[in-house]
Structure 1
Amino acid sequence: MRPLRIALYSHDTVGLGHFRRNLMLARSFVALEPRPHVLMISGATEAVRFPKPPGVDVITLPALTKVERNRYGSRSLGVRLEELVDLRARTILAAVSSFAPDLLVVDNVPRGAQGELDATLERLRADGRTHVVLGLRDVLDEPEAVRREWRGLGNEEVIERLFDAVWVYGDRQVVDLAREYGFGRPTASRIHYVGYLDRCEDATRGPSSAEADGTAARVAGGRPYALCLVGGGEDGVRLAEAFSRLEARPDQDRVLLLGPYMPEAARLAVRARAEASPDLEVIDFLEDPMPLVAGASSVISMGGHNSVSEILSFDRPALIVPRVSPRREQWVRAHRLARLGLVDVLDPAELEPERLAGWLEKTPTRSFRAREAVDMGGLERTRALVAELALARAFEREEVGA
């Protein structure tokens, strides 16, 4: 059976969440036999820093950045937005046309950032050889905001014409996307709720850098610690500052992971506090925070999909301080999971060091495992779907050759 070719696209205009989710899928897929060839297409320059297993490679696009909700600009190149989007679109089309994937997984945005996938999706549908999947988070945003945005972009029409399936990396009992967002039958009929992505799976581990291994080993070898995660960092300044201002505790250290997009002034201020606080360790960036999450006695975090999936994977007591702008996705996710007793939530308007300290003083002990409350089978289930596609393609080739 010929190995599948799989392409994974993420626009990566804010943070690294989209790319990291696709990297988890890539690591999982290459555990199949025969091992697929996986090409990742990412808008994050930092994607090249992440260790990737054999069979996986990445193309990075000139970087976009989100200025505000649905408004973008160039992160680095001094060109107009239209020029940058055209450059990205042509790069994607050339890469996908040359690679000729059996499967394309598009993360979160059906048409890509600023419609940069339109030409590629039309080409793939005309060729008729590629199974095209849209991968969605468990929560997109508040319902009315999603309905308004999707209507304006014509997303459901695009899904009906150009996509074969929709994978939701979450549990239907947390959010029923079709019902909450009012999706029509063509979109709803394509949805598979595959479950959250369980980081405990061996297939997701892949190689890690010596820096990540060394940092995790050093931290894990010390006293119990509370871990603070701020995603990519660009909108986590207030949480990082509040966590860094906590008073030392005799029974617990603190570890703060900043992320690559933390503004430099905030990074320097936090590091200055760490120099005066022996109990606080500040880490600028780790490709894979999983070992730190696994070893933490408690976690204070923003509410991004990947961070929450990692917290659920390792059953860490967690306080979520969700982002509420430009989307309220994190707010919705945090409160839905809080209803199930899986996390605690702090309104970011009430974020103060004293509130964090109070939560740490009475950190709850989990009485059950998260995977007993929500579906954590996303990696196993998507791997099975890819294996089914591989078998179907093998049968197609046999019939053509008969």
Structure 2
Amino acid sequence: MTMRADEASPAPRILIYSHDTFGLGHLRRSRAIANAIVASSPGARAMIISGSPVVDCYAFAPGVYTVRLPPVTKFSDGGYASLDGTTPLASTVAQRTAIIGRTDASFEPDLILVDKEPAGFHGELMPVLERAAGRGTRLVLGLRDVLDDADRLVPEWERKGAAEIMARFYDEIWVYGLSRIHEPLAALPMDPEMAARIAERLIYTGYLRREVPAMQAGREEPAVARAPFVLVTPGGGGDGAALIDWVIAAYEADPGIPLPSLIAFGPFLDDSTRDGFTARIDRLGGRIAAITFDSQIEFLMRKAAGVVAMGGYNTFCEILSFDLRAILVPRTEPRREQAIRALAAEQLGSARVLLEATAAPLSGWPPRSRSAGTRASRRGAGSGPARRARRGRAPGPGPGRARRCDPRAGLFVTETRIAVVLKGYPRLSETFIAQELLALERRGLSLEIWSLRRPTDRARHPMHAAIRAPATYLPEYLRDAPLRVLRGLGSALTRRRLPALLALFARDLVRDPSASRLRRLGQALVLARELPAEVGHIHVHFLHTPASVARYAALLTGRRWSFSAHAKDIWTTPAWDLTENLRRGLG
């Protein structure tokens, strides 16, 4: 994709919208694409706006950040409501619309990738689409391989005006699949001109290839996974009770099933239903084990002898990527998407399908199922959507530590990320800072590091390897990154706090008329522009140069900031500079 003429940077900023009204599918697909974008484009940033209540349970690659929307839930009849059960849906949509708008304004993306819903949930994305089109931001709509039966999809998308929105706003439409499996837009009634406009923007990327991620610290797996086993996964679990019941019933009826099973219930399975299943499993003498949720289920996928699943998009991609034998038991309500995909895969020899109405106990396990014709694209997300998106702009080290979380608790609470500004990172002479960062992370704080200089030490202390916070390097000399500085200046010109910053800087420049002072301002402009929207606080170590950069960026963006003073900087920083920083710190 060709970006705006003024966007020559190889490091794109990608905003991904995922409405997430049901299950885990949209979030997991967005996560896979975002992780691939930052892996394939050094310095890239991806910001996922998600309505999933379990987004905080997942670890994301360095440079991928999330903003959580107030969640809604979907009923079996296709209706929606606020997940908390009390807030009117219209109020929740208004909250979500405002959050999306603020995130877009602060993140300033080069490309916006929208998952499935052209206008967003209940039209919540329309204000951002209008603004993005006006400023020239590239817009891409991403669609899974199958949306629904034509008789259900057509009236829904006609009511939403989806074809008109696609033709009006979107530069490209990516279908994450193969046309020989399904053509999701083929049934939409369109006049020839509109059909031609959409057809020329349509790109089939292949299925998004999945890889085993970096293992999270402290990861544990059930004992059953140490030997051959069958993995049973209903995805999020909200509509997977029938599949789980069927598997347990098979083991209850047939003591000769040769392999044990591991059932991943999913975070959305009803508590009482899960308790009932657990009691039945306990009576089977270890032939079935169960877990509630695994945010790195790829590890279990790779080990499993076979998979029993419902046929959702992400599970299907994993079956193809890891070349797994599979039985699919797709749902048919409220959408037939899973059944369409599963039956097409069965025709190509990639899976065996049992529809719920005719499901029988596990006989003849495992099925023979391997077909090169539908393997996940070897390019996958790394060179399909990711390759296209990185033409569009961002930093960060490894995934966060696994956390146990209740998706029904604290739905509207967001964690504030802290940006830590350092003169150089990592440095062997500053292990005391590394100790502090490690301690803060162990207390559950979310950090990211912004360094004014790149490392010069040849050796690296083991503590630095244990720090999970992503590290971004500001231009040490402005001439080294003129485009970043110019973009920072352009962004600053749109901010209402710029006059206050210029007044402060003018006072500082009179007292310190040096190139170093100008460099601090330039670094601050870059920092102010590139800080993710979820960073709510800036903390700086040392009261000399790094403090000026942090102070300027905090003033420009309206964030609070704080500092840690040490011996050398206290005694070597001019008194007037110390006074300014002490007076304005924690402001």
Equivalent position of 2:385 in the other structure:
382
Secondary structure, counterpart of 1:31 in structure 2: helix
Matches within 5 A, 1:129-140: 130-140=137-147
Secondary structure, counterpart of 1:133 in structure 2: strand
Write out per-residue CA displacement over residues 89-108 of structure 1, whole angstroms, 9 at most, x where no aligned residue.
11111111111101111111
1:246 and 2:250 aligned: yes
Aligned pair partner of 1:365 in 363, 368, 375: 368
Secondary structure, counterpart of 1:266 in structure 2: helix
Q: Is the Cα contact below 8 Å between 1:137 and 1:170 reproduced in 2?
A: yes
Aligned pair partner of 1:226 in 230, 233, 246: 230
Matches within 5 A, 1:1-400: 1=9, 3-76=11-84, 78-128=86-136, 130-182=137-189, 184-200=195-211, 205-210=212-217, 213-215=219-221, 218-222=223-227, 224-247=228-251, 248-249=255-256, 251-277=258-284, 278-351=286-359, 355-358=360-363, 361-366=364-369, 368-369=371-372, 371=374, 375=377, 377-379=379-381, 380-389=383-392
In 1, distance between residues paired with 2:238 and 2:161? 30
Alpha-carbon shift at residue 188 of structure 1 (Å): 1.9
Q: Is the Cα contact below 8 Å between 1:226 and 1:254 reproduced in 2?
A: yes
Q: Is the Cα contact below 8 Å between 1:69 and 1:327 reproduced in 2?
A: no
In 1, distance between residues paired with 2:18 and 2:214? 21
Secondary structure, counterpart of 1:3 in structure 2: coil
One-letter amino acid of the structure 2 residue matched with residue 382 of structure 1: P
Secondary structure, counterpart of 2:392 in structure 1: helix
In 2, distance between residues paired with 1:308 and 1:378? 13
Q: Is the Cα contact below 8 Å between 1:169 and 1:378 reproduced in 2?
A: no
Alpha-carbon shift at residue 78 of structure 1 (Å): 2.1
Alpha-carbon shift at residue 389 of structure 1 (Å): 3.4
Q: In the superposition, relative to structure 1, how do residues 208 and 10 fare at CA in structure 2: closer, same or farther (>3 Å)?
A: farther
Equivalent position of 1:393 in the other structure:
none
Secondary structure, counterpart of 2:232 in structure 1: strand
Q: In the superposition, relative to structure 1, how do residues 367 and 173 fare at CA in structure 2: closer, same or farther (>3 Å)?
A: closer
Q: In the superposition, relative to structure 1, how do residues 158 and 316 fare at CA in structure 2: closer, same or farther (>3 Å)?
A: same
Q: In the superposition, relative to structure 1, how do residues 219 and 181 fare at CA in structure 2: closer, same or farther (>3 Å)?
A: farther
In structure 1, the gaps of 5 or more residues are 391-396
Alpha-carbon shift at residue 210 of structure 1 (Å): 4.1
In 2, distance between residues paired with 1:52 and 1:174? 30
Q: In the superposition, relative to structure 1, how do residues 178 and 253 fare at CA in structure 2: closer, same or farther (>3 Å)?
A: same
Write out per-residue CA displacement over residues 1-48 of structure 1, whole angstroms, 9 at most, x where no aligned residue.
462111111111100110000000111011123321111110012101
Write out per-residue CA displacement over residues 365-391 of structure 1, whole angstroms, 9 at most, x where no aligned residue.
34544555x74533121122124436x
- Decide which moves more: 225-234 or 170-179: 170-179
In 1, distance between residues paired with 2:213 and 2:366? 32
Overall identity of the aligned pairs, in %: 33
Q: Is the Cα contact below 8 Å between 1:105 and 1:132 reproduced in 2?
A: yes
Q: In the superposition, relative to structure 1, how do residues 384 and 317 fare at CA in structure 2: closer, same or farther (>3 Å)?
A: same
Q: In the superposition, relative to structure 1, how do residues 375 and 4 fare at CA in structure 2: closer, same or farther (>3 Å)?
A: closer
In 1, distance between residues paired with 2:365 and 2:288? 20
Secondary structure, counterpart of 1:26 in structure 2: helix
Deviating above 4 A after TM superposition, structure 1's stretches of 4 or more consecutive aligned residues are none
In 1, distance between residues paired with 2:326 and 2:10? 44
Q: In the superposition, relative to structure 1, how do residues 253 and 190 fare at CA in structure 2: closer, same or farther (>3 Å)?
A: same
Q: In the superposition, relative to structure 1, how do residues 371 and 322 fare at CA in structure 2: closer, same or farther (>3 Å)?
A: closer
Alpha-carbon shift at residue 79 of structure 1 (Å): 1.3
Q: In the superposition, relative to structure 1, how do residues 334 and 178 fare at CA in structure 2: closer, same or farther (>3 Å)?
A: same
- Cα RMSD of the aligned pairs, angstroms, is 2.1
In 1, distance between residues paired with 2:217 and 2:353? 34
Q: Is the Cα contact below 8 Å between 1:52 and 1:206 reproduced in 2?
A: no
In 2, distance between residues paired with 1:337 and 1:142? 16
